[in-house]
A and B are shown apart, each in its own frame.
Chain A
Amino acid sequence: MEDLIYFFSFQDPNIRYVAAGSVLLAISSALVGCFTFLKKKALVGDAVAHSVLPGICLAFLLSGNKNPVVLIIGAFITGWLALVLIDFITRSSKIKEDTSIGLILSVFFGIGILLLTMIQHSGNAAQTGLDSFLFGKAAALVGTDLVVFSSISLVLVVVVLLFYKEFALISFDEDFAKSIGFPVRRLELVLTTLTVLAVVTGIQAVGVVLMAAMLITPAAAARFWTDKLSVMLVIAAVFGAVSGISGAFISYTAPAMPTGPWIVLIVSMLALVSFFIAPNKGIFYKLLRQYRIKRRILNENILKLFYQLSEIDADHQRARTLTELQNKRPIRMKSLKKGLRRLHIQGYLSNRDDKWSLTEQGKIKGRRVVKLHRLWEVYLTKYLRIAPDHVHEDADNIEHILTPELERRLESLLEYPENDPHSSAIPYDPNLMNK
């Protein structure tokens, strides 16, 4: 707790720098990742992330020090080379993109690990900390490293905003972009370069193994919350920033802990939460909607049942027992009781001595459902030429979904028929009849 307060008070300038750096690079990779995600190139990010490792090692071997600029150049070169090779293999052989991504990713990463092991056993004193590029160490983001990585992140953010319209267009409709003369190939090149750069900036804080998650997960999570590209970019950036700063905090409080896995866990949690609770697209929302529909169908079925019973004995006021209802239509006892109670609370039914009867509003509602059911049966037999003995089931379902607007259209199309195909009278509301 003390750590938490100390960290988030940002008194320590070191913490300030580490936090600001992590946030900035998480934001930049989240923004670039949005377009990678929309172009359905999620795996490409992963391939690049793994392919920068041999570049870092080679740069270190050749220069003998850990100057971030040199390492970044090395990482950039192999990351790029991997992309070019993936593209080349896909275009000039029968191997599909997913396979060539898998091939290149593992070959490059294998070479990277080989070189890294070699360096670690070489006894070079400067090599300590090089292995933090594997899983990341945000706390090491100080001094020149911080300046270099943050500047690249800043450039990334600016370029993405500058190219917003162009990237959106080539992500949505590449052929159209070409047809209006946009330099699509060059724009793709810029986007690819940004992807490689985003990966490169993230390696210090997140590490090469898990960097792909920083590109893709914020975008995937943000997509749940919005249907607007601009909003999606903002949400992805916020998600990225949150995970970035949490990563920095963990790296500060537990220096032995690699940062990457933590950042990835946090951003994945955000994605998981979005997956469940996001409005319209979230799982919970869908379940809730399902539940509401079920409840409505049950309510309407019970009112329909009351109305049908009162049609038989021509008494709309009569109170009925549970058994009486169950005999006419076997609804599960538990649901029936629950539905009756709910309709009572809502004012559609009255209840006396364990007997239930329709209120005036209940009668109107029940009559409407019966009417819709029978109208739909007429429609099916008349316009779809379905046999009268096959229309009941369909109508049992459709009666609940017909809107008042469809109801009016159905009535005027069928010209207020008197009877349904089974010769039951269709009950219109006499107060609303406007023949």
Chain B
Amino acid sequence: MIVNVENPILEVHDLTVTYSRKPVLWGVDMTLPKGSLVGVIGPNGAGKSTLIKAIMGLIPLSSGWVELFGSPLDDVRKKVSYVPQKESVDWDFPASVRDVVVMGRYAKVGLFKRPRKADYEAADYAIAQVKMTEFANRQISQLSGGQQQRVFLARALAQNADLYFMDEPFAGVDAATEKAIIGILKQMSAQGKTVIVVHHDLQTVTKYFDWVVQLNTRLVASGPVEEVFTQELLQETYGGKLTILSDVGNLLRKQGFPTRDVT
């Protein structure tokens, strides 16, 4: 069941993504409403992170297009923020918490310019929002998993965007941090910002999100949580594997076939 909305903040049209020709996302079509707090759920390897990366233009699309605020990404980048998975970076990098958070200001600072005083103040403000002020000068390798996640969230906050994509912000964090993070996300949503979160824990879905996207290579459901977070749809997302689809995918890869007819 896919619920569509008028004037969506995000529109994904016929999106297909392949990794070395094997489809990871197949024909995803969806629209998301402004101001919602969206949970993207699905089993491992369902393409949750891939969906976000594809929307952010980090991986090439095999087909389809994406519009944010009714425009292509490049026109609205400053209004969009992306929080990668915590594991995607080397936390041994010689940088302090403030150094990382101020990176959230780089898009506004521009190339070849140094961050200004105001940018550092914005970074400190974001650090205070995630309650990390006393760790602002701490080297990032000395942080716990939860603190690292807070740093990433602070960097996103420092961007002052309107649309946020977060890849597993609750992975590897302690209970206190999870509570703090969801508190911040809900507040952002209340301020009219749209937050899209890749999420793993089904227990908390109804408590955290007002909109749910269910993925398993193809889009199973997208809609208000009370409408689509149903036993039946969850069964479809997590239960039945689409064996024919994945077999066809393997065939495409083996024979070096294009995913879409290119003639």
Contacts and interface: CB of A to CB of B under 8 A. Distances in A.
A394 interface: no
A231 to B, nearest CB: 8
A78 to B, nearest CB: 30
A228 interface: yes
Nearest to A179: B82
B68 interface: no
Given A175-B84, A229-B99, A180 B90 contact: no
A175 B58 contact: yes
B227 interface: no
A171 B93 contact: yes
Nearest to A175: B84
Interface string A176-194: 1011111100000000000
Contacts of A169: 103, 106
Interface in B66-103: 74, 77-78, 80-82, 84, 88-90, 93-96, 99-100, 103
Interface string A139-181: 0000000000000000000000011011011011101101111
Interface string B98-119: 0110010011010111110000
B139 interface: yes
Contact of A173 (B53, B81, B89, B96): B89
B96 A166 contact: no
A236 to B, nearest CB: 11
Given A166-B112, A171-B93, A172-B93, A178 B106 contact: no
A232 interface: yes
Interface string B38-76: 000000000000000100111000000000000000100
A175 B106 CA distance: 14
Contact of B77 (A162, A171, A181, A227): A181
B106 A165 contact: yes
A179 B141 CA distance: 23
A363 to B, nearest CB: 37
Contacts of B74: 181
A229 B114 CA distance: 15
A223 B95 CA distance: 11
B84 A227 contact: no
Given A165-B114, A173-B84, A227-B94, A178 B57 contact: yes
Given A179-B80, A179-B82, A228 B94 contact: yes
A38 interface: yes
Nearest to A226: B94
Contacts of A228: 94-96
Nearest to B114: A165
Contacts of B103: 169, 172-173, 176
Interface residues of A, number: 25
The binding surface of chain B is classed by DSSP as mixed
Interface in A303-347: none
Contacts of B112: 162-163, 165-166
Contacts of A232: 94
Contact of B95 (A166, A178, A183, A229): A229
Contacts of B94: 38, 223, 226-229, 232
Given A175-B58, A179-B82, A227 B96 contact: yes
Contacts of A178: 56-58
A179 B96 contact: no
A183 B111 CA distance: 9
Contact of A180 (B53, B77, B100): B77
Interface string A34-65: 00001010000000000000000000000000
B222 to A, nearest CB: 23
Given A165-B114, A229-B95, A232-B94, A172 B107 contact: no
A115 B74 CA distance: 49
Contact of A175 (B88, B93, B109, B139): B88
Interface in B175-217: none
B139 A176 contact: no
15 contacts: A165-B112, A165-B114, A171-B93, A172-B90, A173-B89, A175-B58, A175-B84, A176-B82, A176-B84, A179-B56, A180-B106, A181-B107, A182-B106, A228-B95, A228-B96
Interface of A: 38, 40, 162-163, 165-166, 168-169, 171-173, 175-176, 178-183, 223, 226-229, 232
Instruction: Please give me the 5 A-B residue pairs with the lowest Cβ-Cβ distance, nearest first.
Output: A179-B82, A180-B107, A227-B139, A181-B77, A229-B94
Given A178-B56, A181-B107, A182-B107, 7 more contacts: A165-B114, A168-B95, A172-B103, A175-B53, A176-B82, A179-B56, A181-B74
